[in-house]
Amino acid sequence: AAEEGFDIEEVEGAIEAAGHGPLPVLAVVGRPNVGKSTLVNRIIGRREAVVEDKPGVTRDRVTYEAEWAGRRFKVVDTGGWEQDVLGIDASVAAQAEYAIEAADAVVFVVDAKVGATDTDEAVVRLLRKAGKPVVLCANKVDGPSGEADAAALWSLGLGEPYPVSALHGRGTGDMLDQVLEALPEAPEQTFGGGVGGPRRIALIGRPNVGKSSLLNKVAGEERVVVNELAGTTRDPVDELIELGGVTWKFVDTAGIRKRVHLQQGADYYASLRTAAAVEKAEVAVILIDASESISVQDQRIVTMAVEAGRAIVLAFNKWDTLDEERRYYLEREIETELGQVAWAPRVNVSARTGRHMEKLVPAIETALAGWETRIPTGRLNAFLGELVAAHPHPIRGGKQPRILFGTQAGTKPPRFVLFATGFIEAGYRRFIERRLREEFGFEGTPIHISVRVRE
Ligand code: GDP
Ligand code: GDP
């Protein structure tokens, strides 16, 4: 490496940065209008507003990547939520519960100017039960005169309140230092479910595609409910289901079975629930209603799973209702609308008739195998060498960037770092990804390719 212009530390650093495993998850919870979205914007270092003025705006995006003091983590924003028919306490609780469930640590935001309300107290009780580390953010402390308001929040019993102005950035550094203390290096849910533990599946898809029906079909009478937290009244969320002689853990099934009846904000709940399930899972089985046109909402769910870096299986449900014409148009739609996951194994099922249920497990196993694939460095570089020789990068400005070598920095999903003599264009990166897939498979998994350029 050194003689090629990269020093060894640079190479090792790049490999380590690219090879990180799953990131720990931080949830930001609290009542409406306390400043959660403003704080999330601050944490992810973005100016453009996540903060919405219009009530009832659907926000699909709920998780973001962030970095503080060189550590990376994910942030779950629960700010896109609307008070609903259940009343403020119930809906704040439901919202917080989903987020807390998926999180490794929580920032609880309170409006210090208002002080602790009954709703805040209710969230504190939830946080206690969940037992996750909590950092208390006393927000809207825009100047020193607000410090006393922050100190009053010691009464919540969550330890030190961090006085913060999410709006101006005041105090957010100290609070984030504390967040890093609270966050584990790697997520609690180590992939693989521990040695010999069941693999974790998230069954996701927009409302009415048949998730609940499918779960009932595959579970039959075999269902075992797990993860009942002792001493709580919470719904059990995960279920162990035996399929094809193997026990799988379907995560967050409570969200599938017990539909929260909501008027406003229901879409947002669905997104939050989906994000939470995806965070906890290794493989996402994305259910799509084959009888209807593939929608933007379907695509967003696919994007969520891809961005989370999960193994992916596409299951087209309600196959029993399809006629020849619909089957024809569905194939065209899949090509145009789901091109981003053309690599995902696909099954055409019917939760009603049980059609092709037996194909689900092999598809899941294929996707997990792709997700865990590791290509030895020698083989990868032999492949890259041939590829670059046969199809060099186009010449730009009189120069021809060249890929010198590469390595796989991590798995779950596969992550590659390529070292190059100049900027590698997006088109050429896509070409490399395509060829990698042709050569090594990677069925059912996103792959990440980052490129380091020699200075
Ligand atoms: P969310 O509903 O909890 O996500 O709250 P938002 O982030 O949407 O903020 C609600 C309102 O509080 C907005 O008008 C923000 O501009 C305002 N706000 C948020 N943080 C601060 C702060 O630190 N100081 C002040 N003065 N206002 C803030
Ligand atoms: P969920 O909201 O994704 O959990 O969807 P449900 O399982 O509640 O199903 C929504 C509707 O679709 C119900 O009326 C189901 O009976 C129906 N449904 C689910 N799977 C199938 C299927 O394979 N074929 C047909 N014809 N209907 C289905």
313, containing H or E segment: strand 311-317
User: What span, in angstroms and rounded, lies between the C-alpha atoms of 96 and 379?
Assistant: 47
Q: What is the pLDDT of residue 264?
A: 46
Can you give the length of the chain in residues? 455
Give me the pLDDT at residue 329, please.
96
* d(CA 207, ligand 2 centre) in Å: 9
Task: Please give the annotated binding residues for GTP, written as ranges.
Answer: 30-37, 77-81, 139-142, 205-212, 252-256, 317-320
* pLDDT higher than threshold 80 for residue 420: yes
Percent of the chain with pLDDT over 70: 82
User: What average pLDDT does this structure show over 450-455?
Assistant: 84
> Phi and psi for 208 in degrees, rounded to 5?
75, 10
Gap between the Cα atoms of 29 and 109, Å rounded: 6
C-alpha distance from residue 130 to each of 100, 105, 154, 268, 273 (Å):
7, 10, 20, 22, 17
Most ligand 1 atoms within 8 A of CB, residue of 40, 51, 57, 175 to mutate: 51
Cβ neighbours for 322, distance < 8 A, ≥ 6 positions apart = 290, 291, 330
Q: What is the ipTM of this complex?
A: 0.73
Q: Which of 206, 208, 286 best tests ligand 2's pocket when mutated (most atoms within 8 Å of CB)?
A: 208
pLDDT at 56: 39
Q: Structure tokens of 158?
A: 């969550």
- In a mutational test of the pocket of ligand 1, which residue from 167, 170, 264, 272 has the highest number of ligand atoms less than 8 Å from its CB? 167
- Asked if residue 126 lies in contact with residue 96, where contact means CB atoms within 8 angstroms, the answer is yes
How confident is the model over 182-207, as pLDDT tens digits?
Answer: 998 766 554 434 445 789 999 999 88
pLDDT recorded at residue 279:
85
- Least Cα distance to 199 among 440, 375, 360, 76 occurs for 360
Judged against a pLDDT cut of 50, whether residue 366 lies above it is answered with yes
State residue 49's pLDDT score.
40
- What local confidence, expressed as pLDDT, does residue 262 receive? 46
- DSSP-derived 3-state class of residue 238: strand
Label residue 169 by pLDDT band (50, 70, 90). very high
Angstrom distance (rounded) from CA 219 to CA 293: 28
Contact indicator for 40, 147 with CB cutoff of 8 Å: no
Assess whether pLDDT exceeds 50 at residue 404. yes
pLDDT of 17-49, one tens digit each?
776 667 888 999 988 889 998 999 899 886 444
Give the atom of ligand 1 at the shortest distance from the alpha carbon of 32. 2
pLDDT of res. 51? 43
Residue 91 has a pLDDT of 65
Q: Which ligand is nearest to the CA of 175?
A: 1
Q: Parallel, antiparallel, or unpaired: how do β-strands 346-348 and 71-77 relate?
A: unpaired
State the closest ligand 1 atom to the C-alpha of 139, by its place in the atom list counted from 1.
Answer: 23
Q: Is the CB of 422 under 6 A from ligand 1?
A: no
Cis peptide before 345 (omega within 30 of 0): no
- What is the mean predicted confidence (pLDDT) over 3-8? 68
Beta strands 71-77; 63-68: pairing state: antiparallel
The tens digit of pLDDT for each residue in 234-285 reads 445 788 888 888 889 898 776 666 544 444 455 666 777 888 889 889 999 9
pLDDT at 52 over 60: no
